[in-house]
Chain A
Amino acid sequence: MVRGAAGILLPLIVPAIIAMIIWGLPGDPATTICPQGTCGETARQALIERYSLTSPYAFLYSWLSRAIFLDFGISPVTIAGKEVWALVATSVPNTALVMLLALGPITVGTFGAALGWFPRQLDAVFQGIGVVPAVIFALFCVAFITIFDLGGIGAFGIPMFEYDNWEVSPMKLLAGGLVLGLADGALSGAVSGTRSVFDTEFKQRYIGIAILRGERPMVNAAPNVLPTLIGQFRSRVLHLLSGTVIIEVILGIEGLGDLLWRATLDNDYFVVLGAAWGFALISSFLLIFQAISGVVVELMIRRSPSVPT
């Protein structure tokens, strides 16, 4: 219940914190959001009226009621005059691709540890790789791509992804996914986390009884460890999402993390609000998914036949 409530509250909390920051900074909020050098007096007045910049509560309500319909406002600084929604929408595909690629090593690590594909001696290797910080790993990849000139079209015969308004080198995406999936203990965490959950569960008495009955321990333990594994998976996805900022900036991938970074440096509050809300929504969805799956697994366990007669 607490988890579900946190999931519902999260998309409200993140913009609320940013609104508090805007009002906490010296000067009036309209000037903070759109500095005088960027916006004229007329534009600032229009901003005040459009987003009710009279109080943080009114602003939050106004911004959220528009954000629900994907109206995140207009970027005054990062790409002046461009809709924040358009910026976010352009960034999401790259981030989604990097995330999907990063989920590969983590999924393999989780299943490998659960099903015993990897010998335990390999754990030290995974931990060694995991110690490398993402920034160093990303720099190594950039150096590799630059030295061997793999960043452009046709690297290794893979065509460059080109769409209407964005393009990205497949090697950079691949490197981004690899770095995210391996660095900062992502893969080693997936392997050791899954192993420790199963090791603890296999020590339970019911597993011993299951073995005596000739049943497979994995089949008995899987439903019980599923909520914990889902929780671990959620925190790993969040970890990957956080990591996209570093990876995308260093590798030059124009994704959501890169957008958030540029907006932070530009003090572009509307873009930060839009991007941070996007991250909060993903996190909220994961939290609610974990809460629901926990309930479903609990119901399944209760309804399953206890002992065959």
Chain B
Amino acid sequence: MKPRVHVIRWVGLSVGLVLLLSLALMAYFAPDTLGQADITRRVASPFDLPPFGADRMGRPLLYYALQGAAIVLWPSLIAGAIVAAFAIIAGLARCAGLAWFDTLLQIFSELMGALPRMVVVLVVALAMPRDYTSLLPVAIAWAFLAAPGAMDEAATAAGRLGGSRFVEALRAHGFSAPRIYLYHIITLNLRSVVIRQAAEVVMQVIFLEIALSYLVQVPPVQPALTHSEEFKSWADILYLGFQTATGGNWFGAGSLIHALVLGLVLVAMPAVMAHAFRLAARER
């Protein structure tokens, strides 16, 4: 391996893990409520109320950020795990030479891949009872819809290895089946595809939550589809900041431009995390 590639992979892994850990810590410390309104602190800047300032009711934006992380953490990770599992199955099926299973996977891929994702997401949202609001069903639906792409790429990667001939060759060398499938195929050869696809789906689910939570804020305002009313999404931070941006009061008294900056930084977080993991999982 070239030394530069080696460094990039380690930097990518470190950055990705740090951001993932930050997300997990934010979710862990998320409060159940935003707390009492405090008019004396309304629209406080980050200097007046560190680290992120306050909203129009004087509630810290930090709590918004923590609650937003709690909304997205587990559903996005579960969605990523589902996609990773599908990709591994498709890669292993190609290597095992199971033609009928390959055909079944192709049918699944064609059907799932042909469904417009947002339509399915909205149908899932429609099916959810209004008193049960969670991102999880939407995230799982998204994972199933994203799975065909990951499966196709994993199957192609496995096909490039030589498929069942690769397994036969390793068997001839005396390797056991678990070692061949778990180490040689998954760890050494499918890892790059699986981690990249899973990281992308984690990012997509977080973006999806932000989009859905933002859309319900567009008048006429509706109850959130992905979280309970006590919780605030990162989209709420963006919405607060966006009102300031379109109102023209960028730096005057009562400006919430710091909310917009915070919202954009939070949006950038999963994107950077996904890119970091993509770099970490690069092929040798």
CB-CB under 8 A from B103, the residues of chain A are 2
Q: How far is the CA of A129 from the CA of B110 in the complex (A)?
A: 29
Footprint of A on B, CB under 8 Å?
103, 106-107, 110-111, 113-119, 122-123, 125-127, 129, 149, 207, 210-211, 214-216, 218, 222, 235, 238, 242, 245-246, 248, 264, 267, 271, 275
Contact A25 B122 (CB under 8 A): no
Residues A133 and B116 in contact in the complex (CB < 8 Å), given A6-B107, A143-B245: no
Q: How far is the CB of A300 from chain B (nearest CB, A)?
A: 23
Does A264 count as interface, using CB distance less than 8 angstroms?
yes
Contact B267 A265 (CB under 8 A): no
Residues A3 and B110 in contact in the complex (CB < 8 Å), given A18-B123, A264-B122: yes
Given contacts A21-B127, A133-B267, A147-B245, 6 further A-B contacts (CB under 8 A): A2-B106, A3-B110, A14-B119, A245-B215, A275-B119, A284-B114
- Can you pick out 17 interface pairs between chain A and chain B where the beta carbons lie within 8 Å of each other? A2-B110, A5-B107, A6-B111, A14-B115, A17-B123, A139-B214, A142-B242, A143-B245, A146-B246, A184-B207, A245-B118, A250-B214, A250-B215, A265-B222, A275-B119, A279-B116, A280-B116
Q: How far is the CA of A265 from the CA of B222 in the complex (A)?
A: 7
Q: How far is the CB of A197 from chain B (nearest CB, A)?
A: 12
Q: How far is the CB of B213 from chain A (nearest CB, A)?
A: 9
Q: How far is the CB of B60 from chain A (nearest CB, A)?
A: 23
Q: How far is the CB of A142 from chain B (nearest CB, A)?
A: 7
Contact B114 A287 (CB under 8 A): yes
Q: How far is the CA of A68 from the CA of B255 in the complex (A)?
A: 54
Contact A21 B126 (CB under 8 A): yes
Does A38 count as interface, using CB distance less than 8 angstroms?
no
Partner of B125 from A239, A241, A242, A264 at Cβ < 8 Å? A264
Does A7 count as interface, using CB distance less than 8 angstroms?
yes
Interface of B is mostly: helix
CB-CB under 8 A from B238, the residues of chain A are 136, 139
Contact B107 A2 (CB under 8 A): yes
Does A261 count as interface, using CB distance less than 8 angstroms?
yes
| Chain A, residue nearest B268 (CB) | A131
Q: How far is the CB of B161 from chain A (nearest CB, A)?
A: 16
| Chain A, residue nearest B250 (CB) | A147
| Chain A, residue nearest B104 (CB) | A2
Residues A267 and B126 in contact in the complex (CB < 8 Å), given A6-B111, A133-B211, A261-B215: yes
Contact B264 A136 (CB under 8 A): yes
Partner of B116 from A3, A5, A283 at Cβ < 8 Å? A283
Q: How many A-B residue pairs have CB under 8 A?
A: 115
Best-buried of B116, B127, B207, B275 by chain A (most CB within 10 Å) = B116
Q: How far is the CB of B8 from chain A (nearest CB, A)?
A: 14
Footprint of B on A, CB under 8 Å?
2-3, 5-7, 9-10, 13-14, 17-18, 21, 24-26, 131, 133-136, 139, 142-143, 146-147, 184, 235, 238-239, 241-246, 249-250, 257, 260-261, 264-265, 267, 269, 272, 275-276, 279-280, 283-284, 286-287
Contact A133 B207 (CB under 8 A): yes
Contact A135 B119 (CB under 8 A): no
Q: How far is the CA of A233 from the CA of B215 in the complex (A)?
A: 28
Contact A287 B110 (CB under 8 A): yes
| Chain B, residue nearest A139 (CB) | B242
Contact A25 B271 (CB under 8 A): no
Q: How far is the CA of A241 from the CA of B264 in the complex (A)?
A: 25
Q: How far is the CB of A70 from chain B (nearest CB, A)?
A: 19
Residues A246 and B211 in contact in the complex (CB < 8 Å), given A10-B114, A264-B125, A279-B116: yes
Contact A264 B211 (CB under 8 A): no
CB-CB under 8 A from A246, the residues of chain B are 118, 211, 215
| Chain A, residue nearest B267 (CB) | A136
